[in-house]
Amino acid sequence: MDQIESILQRPKLYNNIDGVGELSCGFMMLGFGLLTWLQARSPAGAIWHRMDVFAVWVGLMLLGIHYGSKAIKEHVTYPRTGFVEYRKRGSGAAIAFVVAAVVAAGIGFAARFHWNSALHLRLTTPVADFGLAFAVAYAFGIARAVRWKWAVVGAIAISTVAVAMLPEDTLRAFAGDASAVAGISGVTAGAWLLSILAYGAIMLVSGGISFVLYLRHTQPPAQAAA
């Protein structure tokens, strides 16, 4: 029975066999992070603060991610290891998200209780909670099937804690004017910005490694037939 359950999970894991899921996630995080950083670093009248520029940026980013991942699937993945059309999502993804959020909230609460004064987690806890939820969701969704991806879970968790440990002045300085734009404290804005850039970079590296490994271990149809 366990083997049947394991085979039932395989098509879900196949979705990220080429690392495209992580690459998309990484581009999105870096895209948002970069725009926020540009907003923080530019004067109030700069184009980065305009809503139409924001809409164009997000639109281009989403279009690039959508058509980029579609092109990789069409021209690389499907000819090498086959095409899959997934069933409409049920409650599984929502349950995974809720479980991740509850676990992260628990860890965040424990961290706040124990390390409050030492790690400055009081102000950055919402960001740390997000980071821990992200690590748990990643572990549940991806790392449990691919052993080396546990290193990615570790990298997400370490970067979350590292950002939480940074001095408040550093976080505030990094945020620049972003806190005024977002209406949150400078420390939280800095922690959020640094975290999103770190997660984006981690996702890009992890997705890139997966993509290279996929290309190495699979053969294009012409070579496979030969």
Partner 1 sequence: MNQHIRKIAELDRVIHEPGRLMIVTLLYAVDKADFLYLQHETQMNKGTLSSHLTRLEEAGYVEVVKTYRGKIPQTLLSLTAAGRSAFEQYRRKLKEAL
Output the six-digit token pair for 211: 């993509």
Residue whose CB is less far from partner 1, 37 or 214: 214
Q: How far is the CB of 94 from partner 1 (least distance, A)?
A: 18
Q: How far is the CB of 99 from partner 1 (least distance, A)?
A: 20
Q: How far is the CB of 95 from partner 1 (least distance, A)?
A: 17
d(CA 38, CA 47): 10
Q: How far is the CB of 127 from partner 1 (least distance, A)?
A: 35
Residue whose CB is less far from partner 1, 87 or 216: 87
Closest to 73 measured CA to CA, from 115, 23, 117, 118? 23
Residue whose CB is less far from partner 1, 17 or 194: 17
Residue whose CB is less far from partner 1, 12 or 172: 12
Per-residue burial over 44-81, b if 16 or more Cβ lie within 10 Å, else e, is eeeebeeeeeeeebeeebeeebeeebeebbeebbebbb
Residue whose CB is less far from partner 1, 88 or 147: 88
Helix (H, G, I), strand (E, B) or coil at 18: coil
Output the six-digit token pair for 131: 């980071």
Closest to 163 measured CA to CA, from 138, 114, 129, 140? 129
Q: How far is the CB of 81 from partner 1 (least distance, A)?
A: 4
Q: How far is the CB of 87 from partner 1 (least distance, A)?
A: 5
Residue whose CB is less far from partner 1, 3 or 117: 3
> For binding to partner 1 (CB under 8 A), which residues are involved?
1, 4, 7-12, 14, 74, 78-79, 81-88
Q: To which H or E segment does residue 127 belong?
A: helix 121-138
Q: Find the distance separating the first CA and the last CA of the chain, reported in whole Å.
A: 38
